[in-house]
Structure 1
Amino acid sequence: MCNFLLLARNMSMLARPSFPSSFASSREPTGSASSSSYPSSQSRFDTSYLQKSKGKKQKFELSEQDKREIKESFELFDTKRKGSLDYYELKVAIRSLGIEIKKAEVLQLLEEYSDDGSIDYDSFVEIMTSKFSERNPEDEMRKAFAIFDEDHSGKITLKQLRRIAKELGEDLSETELQAMIDEFDKDQDGAINENEFIEIMKQTSLF
């Protein structure tokens, strides 16, 4: 299970919309940033859903991964180091975190959270906490499955799993890859379908 989930977590980063690397680099401030200012983050399935109670509703809490990514995004787009984001910076920062947002909504956020047309870090965290709390974990899983399912067959085959492992630099033998398929192939068709993939994810500590 661990190998399969590792591949799924790493591939899920492609399911999250992000700004082009060339654009990000062009927005980098001059001078070197400390590691604390720009913490490294490896995109993965959202673990913040663990904070939601299965039995009763509890206050949503960000995962540590979410907190790092929010901080990283704010600091990346606060190019003038003024401690706040203007309209354009706010829009691209939110989109860089995988949230689609329209002009009217950005303007509404500025009206709600700002007196001077800019959003400070605490307000940005509050905004993103609200946005993240609205995400559907099954939608995230389906997006990740679609990355595996490159031929749109509705199944993850051995060939696809082999390709993904190679792209991610995972040194897995053909026997190991086949065992990963066999372990979760409930309908015994030699592949993992979307429902089987979702059930695998639901059985882990990721959701």
Structure 2
Amino acid sequence: MCKLHSQPKTLLSAFNLRNKPSRHQQPQLSTATPQHHQGEMPPKKRSAPSAPKKARQSKLAKAHDISATEENEIKEVFQLFATSAADFPNEKEGVIAREDVRKALVALGLAPADSRELHDILAAVDPTTTGYVLYEPFVAVAAAKLRSRDEDAMAAEVDAAYQLFTRNTDGPITLGHLRRIARELKEDGLGDELLRDMILEANGGAGLEAGVSLEQFHDVMTRAGVF
């Protein structure tokens, strides 16, 4: 994610979905073979740089919708607090003491919001109050906290971008708002007809007076690949 509220031109371009080139409008690449003078060696072809290999997700990471990198971060912190317990001899990653769960989550930047949330987390990761937490339940809780944090951050960013158009009001985005943004950006090619089309495209043809709601704005930005 990027700081969209500092990039109004990006947002306005995302609104203009109808002006995006189709697959059939891509520039054509020349297929002509370059000519070389007699006695000259043709230039060596450069091999394309190989993309870095993406770490493969484990079954556990896939089950909890986190990346391999995110699971590795969780595992590293878990291992900082890991210990062995006679009741869990077969736990490859070890276990962590119940009282260390909060510290581990804080180390991940996922601190419980309050004592009630901590109580719920401990009940989830150690339901039989053994005093120890296994790796898989800890990953499940950390993954849920990660997703919640990402969703909250995105919601805040969408709201900030939306209010850039509405001048810090609840909305909806109107034709007047788009005119102002286009004028401030000196986008002279965006006439009223195109701005109207942008609103109707965003709100599903609900009419100009309906404007564009926060939810519709989020959908437009998602389809345009901004979020």
TM-score interval for Structure 1 and Structure 2 normalised by the shorter chain: 0.3 to 0.5
Which has more radius of gyration? 2
